[in-house]
Structure 1
């Protein structure tokens, strides 16, 4: 190629690749980046915004704690189940088209979530349309990231991706604040707010002249079904363990059945010519280490938003807005450290940032857990900030390093892999920690009620009911009768709130352990960095394949 080289935009001058239908018109990088940030902002905000509104939703719709966890998990579960499919569809049909399709599915589902009717069908309604929201997000996000990669020159790509992930993290932090403000009006507004954001994203996408190069390959439908069913069954079994019991055959049938389907999926992918996921990318030790770090860190990152929010509103008696400010401690640390992590990535690679981030996160979550029973946000903020700093420091370097190791510059596919890992971990974390919290709360409340003179058998049943409904603010509706059970409960509300805080310690210590395992996974990373020449060669080969396919399609 001599001194003429591709910048990853399709030609040496940054023009769109042949066959994209937009020859001679270079994409507007600023508008494209803004459009994709608006598109993904809804996805990241919705990971946190619902957590703040959870008690208000429970109270109005009459959901149980486990029912609300199913609503939260439906979104994350659909994200995890369909992200790999979304990344593959983006590569096959074109990144711009899939971003638009995903955004439309997401915003329509948001409107329907905000329009949920009250009554017995409310929980099913929310679960269904939160799941379709997750499907829309799974289509839009990998395609949006692939657009950023395709329109930004190679020499600027590292900084652009770091900026993308930092801003995405900042938008995640906006969720609790926005949720607290909107919930004070109506919790339904947390879904309706996505409509104007989607309109802006779609308009900017149309104006940005984004190329729509694609890989017209066969879609691995059996693989898509296997991975979605495997992840879904596995998480469902863990999530329902608190209701079905760990000795229930149904619990283990779902957990083991899901793992079996995922094993069949891996075998299928290795044997098919055009797999949903090119598993050979895991031969790269660095890529495998990146994904392991993302998995174990996300076991803490996504669940902490839900459990910290509910803890603040129950044990600290905070309003939704105050709970949002409580979560802000975590995101202040996250925001500052994320910028630092991007700089470390550019100068020294991903491994130093991941090691420091996992170590800080582990310490932060452990100290935060230790302080939860003090029932004072003032005493907890330094540790919440430290935990957030650890996550912020590692998230962008691990994600960017993994994307840079794409095979044949198939950025949509590799993003699908990393985000599947992250969202599966998030759904799994909420399911596991939700089960832990329910059991720990029930056990401690039972001890409290027994100490108040309630018979052990009766205390056990009441404790289970309290554990299921505690996020619905039971102190707002204390029992009014004069029976011994009602008298014991009325006299134990302060103790029950402290019991709930102590039960949350198990959850937060579990998050600390997850970050400790993530630190061990960083030891697997060889410390190598993706060179510009290697990435450029992969991009050039990928573009030539895309051009041949596009020219053939145009001829037909």
Structure 2
């Protein structure tokens, strides 16, 4: 069995491996919890950071995006380095880089250099996360045998995914003391992760191959450019030449990278894994599911603040309904995977998620948080059922037990889909809400130009409040809500319906992809190199 010692007797083996596996899983959960929380915690503290350091609205947006951009660009590299130099070693390196960068972010000086300082160390924080996460996932895969891996990874994804909802809650609470604490809080978490990793005595295995530097540069450049284009589409506009230069240029570089990777002896990404039909289906299901999974945090939170007049902390509690279903279903999905394979769990999850988002969309105009919780929970359950089975099945099919490489691929797919989902759904919400609110304000006597400008401010709530004030503050958004009241809240809710219907469609497409899964199961450990 991979990742365990071999005592003389069966009972001794069971006794020796159980504590090690549990410690390893706990260590990896503590490590990756930081990466999940940091995806959302900074957005809550953005107004405080902007006010204290005097950042521009666009500069604050770059502070948020720098982390996500580096994360997307370097995931594949992190997975490959994990294979070449050892999963445990790269996980510890990533953790150290992440926590040092966090401390430096919290120590940002006041003055003209503050914005540059934060952007640089948010980017290195993202690089640390890109090294840490695929290595941590590979550790869990290597330590647990195939027949127990589904439940272990269900717990891994269930708990770590649910931590994304803690970000806004923790951010709101810590920011009341100082915004710098949202970065410093990573220090004790990292210490626990490192101590547990050492105690777990995780076995190390390296692959004697060289690093494909050219492939790493091409993947990072292509992913970085295209994700940058999607991230900035709302600010630059979809008609901007710069937007499409980044997106198309990045995709062209990725196509060139595919050609290069097929010719090199030791590629960064072994594309032969896509010859496995099941792996390709797993990747497609993850892509379409992630179009909804990550964006729903942002869109549901903004909807709650604008349409339900909720505070940021109340909006975070609203998301807990989603994670209630997600956490419970992730455990069931893992059990189904271990007993019956990935196909049944993915089909159930995709179908449940599509139905959940569809019903949730219909309830958005009720403007009642209480009435929506069952549908939020159903939507979360759908994602919970499919996430761990699709990810685990993909990793189980890795070539030559190249766990780091394959986890790097699957996480790159997930992050790329999240960037696409945020950009596309953000554009839909902006245009629909602007049109509806403009009509409402014109009906109340505002001149067309003023009505459109005010409607634009409300729609911009989705991008992190670039006017410096959220819907519960004193900016144009809050003033518009005070002036037009329930009418604008309803307009925004109706615009969000389009987004949630889009998420339902994404899950429906994922369901169609899941039907193409051959249904075969991986029941034995892949051969070790």
TM-score by length of 2: 0.89
Matched, 1:235 2:232: no
Counterpart in the other structure of 1:30? 22
Q: Is 1:288 aligned with 2:285?
A: no
State which of 329, 354, 369 in structure 2 corresponds to 1:337: 329
Taking a change above 3 Å as real, the CA distance of residues 388 and 59 of structure 1, as seen in their structure-2 partners, is farther
Aligned to 1:9: 3
Corresponding residue SS for 2:39 = helix
Deviation at 1:123, TM superposition (A): 5.5
Residue among 144, 147, 154 paired with 2:136: 144
Q: Which residue of 2 aligns with 1:400?
A: 392
| Contact 2:101/2:124 (8 A) holds in 1 | yes
Of residues 68, 71, 85 in structure 1, which corresponds to 2:77? Answer: 85
| Native 8 Å contact 1:235 1:431 kept in 2 | no
Shift of the alpha carbon at 1:61? 6.3
Partner of 2:11 in structure 1? Answer: none
Shift of 1:410: 0.7
- Contact 1:73–1:430 (CA<8 Å) still a contact in 2? no
Residues 390-539 of structure 1: pairs in structure 2 closer than 5 A: 390-468=382-460, 471=465, 472-473=469-470, 476-477=473-474, 491-532=483-524, 535-536=525-526, 538-539=527-528
CA shift in 2, pair 1:312/1:56, >3 Å: farther
Tell me how far apart the structure 2 counterparts of residues 370 and 296 of structure 1 sit (CA, whole Å). 21
Question: How many residues were matched structurally?
Answer: 516
CA distance in 1, matches of 2:56, 2:500: 22
| More off after superposition, 436-445 vs 120-129 | 120-129
Moved more, 464-473 or 512-521: 464-473
CA distance in 2, matches of 1:154, 1:12: 17
> What is the distance in 1 between the residues matched to 2:442 and 2:107?
43
Q: Deviations over 1:395-452 (max 9, x none)?
A: 1111111110010001111111111111111122222222332333322232222222
TM-score (normalised: structure 1): 0.85
Within a 5 Å distance, the mapping from 1:106-505 to structure 2 comes to 106-116=98-108, 125-153=117-145, 155-468=147-460, 471=465, 472-473=469-470, 476-477=473-474, 491-505=483-497
| Contact kept in structure 1, 2:323 and 2:377, CA below 8 Å | yes
* Residue 250 of structure 1: how far off its partner (Å): 1.6
Q: Distance in 1 between matches of 2:305 and 2:110?
A: 23
Q: Structure 1 unaligned runs (5+)? A: 1-6, 15-23, 480-485, 543-556
RMSD: 2.9
Say if 1:67 and 1:414 are closer, same or farther in 2 by CA, change over 3 A. Answer: same
- CA distance in 1 between partners of 2:54 and 2:494 (Å): 26
Shift of 1:168: 2.3
Q: 2: CA distance between counterparts of 1:360 and 1:62?
A: 45
Mean alpha-carbon deviation: is it higher for 172-181 or for 221-230?
A: 172-181
The corresponding residue for 1:549 is: none
Change (3 A) 1:394 1:367: same
Instruction: Please say if residues 452 and 488 of structure 1, whose CA atoms lie closer than 8 Å, have aligned partners that are also in contact.
Output: no
Pair 206,313 (structure 1): closer, same or farther in 2 beyond 3 Å: same
Structure 2 segments unaligned to the other structure (5+ residues): 9-15
